[in-house]
Amino acid sequence: MMKTHKTLAILSLSLLVAACNDDKKNENVYINFDTTALKNTYSIGETIDLGVSPSKEMTIDSVEYFIDDVKISSSKGVEKSSYTITDMKFGPKVLKSIAYVGGETFESSLQIKILPNIPNEEWTYTILNTYPHDTKAYTQGLEFYGDILIESTGNGVSAAGNKGKSSIRKVNPKTGEVLQITELDDSIFGEGATVFNNKIYQLTYQNNEGYVYNIETLTKEKTIPYFRQMEGWGLTTDGTYLYMTDGSDKIYKINADDFSKVDEIYVVSAQNTVPTVNELEWVNGKIYANFYGSNLVGVIDPSTGRVEAVINFSNLLSLLSNHPDQDVFNGIAYNKKTDTFFVTGKNWDKMFEVKINKN
């Protein structure tokens, strides 16, 4: 099974208003948000103007306002209110009002997004070296362990109809030689991988579990279920926690011992949340992430989710042999010794050592 290709196109936003009326005898009576002054997106420091609009003339006692069920403001009657955003995670939020009329309550909700007001930078790269890469490696994860590469592959089907083989392997980065390999059953689609505490952690696409391998023998030692039913995509570590993606616009911070969730962030730009976050690499306190189906790598602040910079690797495509099994760009590994990155793609015949230029 192959992942469905998605794009990074910015989707149009709309205010989603849903009224909830406790008086079931007259469902045409409601008190919704007054959307006159409301926007779809806000930034930290901006003020949200709050107010409600009843469907008919009535005496409203008071109104309470919430963001994700945390009370932010209140008002008497139909007085307007406001809330200045000071400290809040980026991403979608549910804005809710509860209006009190006599002994009845009228609830209304809508979705807004909190996004950064700083545009991302655009970085470039310089190719330093070009090395061979196994054209049968449907690359899902890539990471240095000393002088060798740990590469995780999946059993995706290429455009030519050939199916890959899921594996975890050690690779000579300069020759492409597979030094050691453990292959997975054909029922398992291998995904992202990382090295943590001298163990290799590997995700699976739809088996809802991750595997832990002995770093020396590549023998599987442990199977860990995910914290909920979800797909596994990319994986990295900051040395204390693991960071995992599921193909959405989120990155999950998880415990390595049991895959329990510690936290989550939305990956965001100044325009929207960014979907299809895939293969991850932790570099000097930032997360470098490939966005599936594109040739882009985003540099993400792991505490906020903001995409600080984007690197476009599209020019690499012209340097490939374009064989029938070649698939999308995927795989980014940072070499601490040389301060360079090794990047490749699924079934690519080449791997590129590049220097990132922070313009």
Q: State pLDDT tens for residues 9-22.
A: 333 333 444 434 44
Which residues does 273 contact at the CB level (< 8 Å), separation at least 6?
Answer: 90, 91, 92, 113, 115, 249, 266, 267
Which pLDDT score is estimated for 29? Answer: 80
The separation between CA 26 and the C-alpha centre of its own chain, rounded to angstroms, equals 43
The mean pLDDT of the chain is: 92
Which pLDDT score is estimated for 27? Answer: 62
Lookup: tokens for 10 = 């910015």
- Which has the closest alpha carbon to 234: 247, 218, 220? 247
Which pLDDT score is estimated for 3? Answer: 54
Contact 68, 41 (CB under 8 A): no
Which residue in this structure is represented by tokens 């990295």?
Answer: 236
With vertex at residue 258, the alpha carbon angle to CA 254 and CA 263, rounded to the nearest 5 degrees, is: 20
Q: Give the bridge partners for 353, in sequence order.
A: 129, 342
Residues of the chain with pLDDT under 70: 1-27
